[in-house]
Structure 1
Amino acid sequence: MLAIAFPLGILAARRPRIEAALRPVLDVMQTVPPWVYLIPAVMIFSLGKVPAIIATIVYGIPPMLRLTTLAFRGVPTDLKELGEAIGARPRTILWKIEFPTATPTLLVGLNQCILLSLAMVVLAGLVGAGGLGAEVTRGLTRMPRSRRCGSPPG
């Protein structure tokens, strides 16, 4: 997910047209409920790990991409101009000036990406993906009937 979201976020921060093209797609991706990603993946790839992985990747990309764009847009232009003034190459400016300045926001994006991926993994357990989702599903099915859905014990 990071390998997709991070470069796209940097590119979107540098090119407004790319951000304008990505924005409606990201808006739709973030407003669609997470289980909706599983439906087409399961229809195409059947039950198992593959649809779960695809749905997790698709669901985890938008927050990291948006926060990467926000982080690199928030770097003060003075710092970038300083790098240019001392003759630093664009790649050096990116890694030595922009990246350290953007790190706090990038970490928030990473946090959100991990959080949403864990949420999708739990849902993916319902389609037979195994792992953490299977453990949660198994735990829910073993819970005594009296403790489910707030029904009174007894």
Structure 2
Amino acid sequence: MHDVIDHETTTDLLTPPFATKIAILLRDDLAAWQRMNVTAFLAAGIAAANPDLVGEPYRDGDGGTYLPLLGMPVLVFEGGARDLSNARSRAVSRGLRPAIYTEEMFKTGYDAANRATTAEVPAEELNLVGVAVHGPKNGIDKILKGAHLHP
């Protein structure tokens, strides 16, 4: 069973009730700064891969304009290393492409170096600290089985 979303036939992804869900799963032993950093990177990955999830630019009462944001809630969960590995595997088995962040990426300073940290590592051996997925609500719930909402 695959949960791949056909964005061509989905009318409006940004008006409730939402048919899909964005979820970020963080490893439960990260420092606060690491949690924020990983969440930002993973949310950017979801936005980059799904431009139809980005809303319109914001405007204030004085006519100032601001960048658009993801147009739906992002739920943040936490779990152990096994939960992250399971979530990555479940997402892939459902035909969804997750965003990932590995512990080794904390030691790099730029995108190419980040990608190099995963290039030679088999999927099941990735030292995951964060996984993000977007997909149908029920599929995301199954992918995140074992994890819990971040406090």
> Which one has a larger percent helix, Structure 1 or Structure 2?
1
TM-score (normalised: structure 2)? 0.22
Structure ranking higher in strand proportion:
2
Identify which of structures 1 and 2 has the higher relative contact order when contacts are C-alpha pairs closer than 8 Å and 6+ apart: 2
Normalised to the residue count of structure 1, the TM-score between the two structures is 0.21
